[in-house]
Structure 1
Amino acid sequence: MFYAWIGGAYRQPIITGERTICNCCEGDLLAVVPHDNRAHWRHKAGDCDPWSEPEGEWHLAWKEKFPLHSREVPMIDQTTQERHRADVFLQLPGCVGTTIELQHSAISEKERDAREVFYSARGRMFWLIHIHSETNFNAISFRCSYSTESPFQFGGSTFYSMSWYGRSKQFIEKWKRSRTHVYFNIDGHIFYLATMAVCTAVVQTQRKGEFALCHVTEQQFLKSAGV
C-alpha cells in the first residue's frame, strides 16, 4: 500500500525506519523505500486485505489522478468483518459512492465476482484493466482485434464491434460477463467494454469472442467516476 496516516498526514513513507498503523486493521506498518521502486508501506504481520497485489508505477499514476482522501480507502463488512482496501473510492455529497479497482495482474473470474459483490454493495463499481505485454499476450491480441469498421449506437454512445484475436477467448469473455462497469487501459487509451452490467442487449447478441468497445477520453472516464 502506498498511503497511510503518520504524524497527521496521509502519505507515502519518506525514509526507511518509519512506522505507523494501518487504518483498516490497526496492524503495524513498516516503511519500504527501495532504490528501484516507489516508496510504500508493508504490513509487519501480513497484509489484512487478501486481494492486495504488488503495485507499481501504473497503479500509483492512476491513484494520483484522484483526491488524496479517496485513495486506498478501507472498507469493512460489519457483519462478517471482511476487510478490503478500495484502490479508489469517491463519495460525493448526496450521491452514490463509486469504487474503482485498478487491475494490472491476471484475476480469476471467481475473485472478480467476489470483488464485484463486495464493492457493489457500497455503490457503483468501475474496473480499470491494464492491458499490457509484461506477462501475457493480451496486449498483442487486443491490438490485432481492435477495429472501427463496425460502428453502432447504444445508449447515446458509439460502439465498435470486433472479434478477439487468438485461440483463447477466456480474457474477453470473463470481462464481458462482468456485472459492473469495465474499462480497458492500453497504450495510453481508455475503452469502455459492453458488459452484462448495462449493455445486456448487446452482449446477448454476441457469439463467443465477439465484443464491443466505446473509446473514451481520460477526462470522460474521470467525470463518469465522479471527479
Structure 2
Amino acid sequence: MESLKQMRYALVDGQRADARPKLKGRCPDCDAEMVARCGPVNVWHWAHKGRLSCDPWWESETEWHRSWKNNFPLDWQEVRHIDQTTGERHIADVKIPYGLVIEFQNSPIDSIEMRSRENFYGKMIWIVNVTTGMIKGYFSVGLSGPIQKDPLIYQINWWSRSQFLRKWGEATATVYFDFGTDTLWRLIFYDPEKTVGAVSPIPKRCLIEDCSNGRAIRTMNDAGV
C-alpha cells in the first residue's frame, strides 16, 4: 500500500504552518484534512487524515529533506507546480522563483517515475541522499584521477553490483550526490557496459548560492577552491 503523504507544511487558518502537537490543518494541494504527527522518533510532519497520498511522487519527510529545504526561504519550499495544459499537479520540494525545481531524493526511484518528473518540471536538478549505506564506500574506492583539471573531473569505476550509478546515469536532469560533507558530486555520465563514469566535485554552499540567485551552478574551479 502506498504510504501516507508526509509534508512539512499544512494550511492552518489559511496560513502555511509547521506541525505542532494536536494541530489540524488542510492540505495545500488537495484541501483534505491533515493531522500533525509529532512523535519522538520521526521528524515532525503533517499527514493526510484517513486517505492515501494525493501526490504519488511524494516521499516521507526526513531530517535530511528538512535540512536541505531549510537552505532556502520558506516560500520556496513545497511549492505546487501545475501543468497549464493538462492540469496535472505536483508539489516540488523546492521551486526557485527563477524557474528551477530542486528535488531531494532519499529513496530509490524507478526510471519511469524519474523521467516523468523530469518531463513535468522541465528545468530541474536532483540531489540524492547517499549519507548512509555501502554506496558511499564503493564511490570513494572507485574514484581515480583527476582526469581533467578545469573543470575538475574524476573518473569513477563502479565495482559494486548495485544499480545505483546505472539508474542515475539515465537521468536527463543534472544529478548531485550528497555524501554528508561540504562537497557534492555531480554525475557527468556513466557507461553501464564499461561500468565507468565521470564525476565532478562542487562546494555545497556554491550550489545553494547559485540556485538561490538564478545563476549557472559553478564548478570547483569557479568557486576558487
TM-score normalised according to structure 2 size: 0.83
Residue 48 of structure 1 is matched in structure 2 by 54
- What is the 5 A alignment of 1:135-150? 137-147=134-144, 149-150=145-146
The percentage of counterpart residues that share the same residue type is: 33
Aligned residues: 205
- The unaligned stretches of length 5 or more in structure 1 are 196-202
Residue 198 of structure 1 is matched in structure 2 by none
Q: Is the 8 A contact 1:101 1:128 kept in 2?
A: yes
Residue 127 of structure 2 is matched in structure 1 by 128
**CA separation in 1, counterparts of 2:161 and 2:40?**
40
Matched, 1:209 2:195: yes
How much is the aligned-residue C-alpha RMSD, in angstroms?
A: 2.0
TM-score normalised according to structure 1 size: 0.82
- What is the 5 A alignment of 1:1-227? 1-7=7-13, 9-16=15-22, 18-44=23-49, 45-92=51-98, 97-120=99-122, 124-134=123-133, 137-147=134-144, 149-153=145-149, 157-168=151-162, 170-188=163-181, 189-195=183-189, 208-227=194-213
Q: Is the 8 A contact 1:76 1:84 kept in 2?
A: yes
Q: Is the 8 A contact 1:2 1:12 kept in 2?
A: yes
Displacement of 1:5 in angstroms is 2.6
**CA separation in 2, counterparts of 1:23 and 1:167?**
41
Q: Is the 8 A contact 1:98 1:226 kept in 2?
A: no
**CA separation in 2, counterparts of 1:119 and 1:140?**
32
- The unaligned stretches of length 5 or more in structure 2 are 1-6, 214-225
Deviation per residue, 1:64-104 (Å, 9 max, x gap)? 11110000111223443322110000013xxxx00000001
Residue 221 of structure 2 is matched in structure 1 by none
